[in-house]
Amino acid sequence: MAAPDPGKEASTEFLREQFRRYYRSRRPTLPDRFGRREFGFMFWTAGIVQRHVGFSKEDDLRGFLTSRVPAHAYYSSAYYETPDAKTMEEKGWLGADLVFDLDADHIPTAKEMSYPEMLEAVRQKIIRLYDDFLKADFGFDERSMRLVFSGGRGYHIHVVDERVWSLGSHERREIVDWITGKGLDVDAAFRESAFDSKEFRGHVRVKKRLVAPAADEGGWRGKIFRGMVQLAGTLETLPAEEAIAFLASFEGVKPTDAADLHANLFKPRATRPRVIRGIDRLREGQLEALSDRNRDLLIRIVRDLQQVRLDVYHGVALEGITQRGETDEPVTSDIKRLIRMPSTLHGKTGLEVVPLTRTRIEDFRPLRDAVPKAWTDEPVRVRLKNKINSEMRDETFNVAPGVNEVPQFLAIFLAARGLATVEPEA
């Protein structure tokens, strides 16, 4: 049996006492239909979990938090007849909120990012999910959506609209499929339209053309067209040889075909009264500005890019080109999920799980705004194995390995993340 580590024990006791002080200093933020929720908790010893807990009064929940002092606190997305029943069958499922979870797992390059960079990348993605899908496509309004910073590596959205409560896992999976573009038929975004007809010897010949969606059209049709226009705009910013090389990087695209598409998009066709190029006509929704061959190639590349789960592809940023959204698919389809409780603390960061509005998330920065006010500037002695460069509460810290004194709020963050241990008192 391994001998106890005094540094780790001191750190755990330090964190537990700071968490207790936090919970004594404020009232918890109660979820809607609080008495119908199951609660679950993880504690400071690995593997110690308690769930199937229900509360009928706010004071009971607050008393639990201050006496038991969990490292992590959760509540169910589901509503139950008997939330504290010990089996799911006995609970009596009544419905569930629709929950979306985004964290660093959805950032392909997260391992190359600093913690603040990673959080910023996820913040941008959760705003897009909120605006472009939940609000624009599904019509949920701000009153029925709760944005939450998870306290760790990401954000959640809780949809509490009663229209979603009865949805089963299959229906929730269909919502996920829409957001992620699973099975998306890009070609269907462009419709054929007759524009001319001729009759000869009793036979009518109808000429057709592909019509682009309007740039402001809802759903995937509008998204696909906006992605196409953004792709053309991105190519416009690149040197010609780089743009052509990018187009030719797709399977089956010859360099000559890529060069022809580039010329079709950017070679001026007229200069008076204004310069007119294919891209200018495309932005106006006129697909016929491109030859059929180039139009089909551009659509094909846009189609291929919708399935790319990277932010950069062959050196080209895909922001605005790929229109698919991101969400943790198992979380959204689970009708009995436990999700972090707002206004509690995250045991691996010491940061607050912060409820947000759509307006507030614009300027929200976790290492400034999710640091609890209860954490002080009081110096705490910590031991670091490695050098730390960090920014919290708009202060920059460069801390060398070894024993150092740092503000309490930074000590909590470093100890919770396992980057430092609190020095035991002599």
Instruction: Tell me the CATH number at 399.
Output: 3.40.5.70
Of 5, 84, 97, 103, catalytic: 103
User: For the chain, which ranges sit under pLDDT 50?
Assistant: 1
Per annotation, catalytic residue among 97, 185, 280, 328: 328
Q: Are residues 37 and 150 in the same domain?
A: yes
- 395 in a domain, yes or no? yes
pLDDT at 205: 66
Task: For the chain, give the percent of residues with pLDDT over 70.
Answer: 95
* 234 inside domain: yes
Can you give the CATH number for the domain in which 41 is found? Answer: 3.90.920.10
What residues make up the domain containing 266? 186-317
| Residue-averaged pLDDT of the chain | 92
**Are both 35 and 172 inside the same structural domain?**
yes
pTM: 0.90
Residue in 59, 84, 97, 101 annotated catalytic: 101
172 shares its domain with 231: no
Domain identity same for 153 and 243: no
Residue at 337 is within a domain: yes
Q: What is the pLDDT of residue 212?
A: 84
Residue 5 a catalytic site member? no
Determine the pLDDT at residue 46: 84
- Same domain for 134 and 192? no
Which pLDDT does position 276 carry in this prediction?
A: 86
Residues 168, 280, single domain; the answer is no
pLDDT of residue 207: 59
Q: How far apart are CA 355 and CA 364, in angstroms?
A: 11
State which of 282, 317, 352 marks the end of a domain: 317
Same domain as 398, residue 305: no
Among 180, 117, 122, smallest CA distance to 325 is for: 180
Any domain includes 366: yes
Tell whether 253 is covered by a domain.
yes
| 384 and 414 within one domain | yes
User: What is the rounded CA–CA span in Å between residue 53 and residue 379?
Assistant: 37
Number of domains forming the structure of the chain? 3
Catalytic status, residue 328: yes
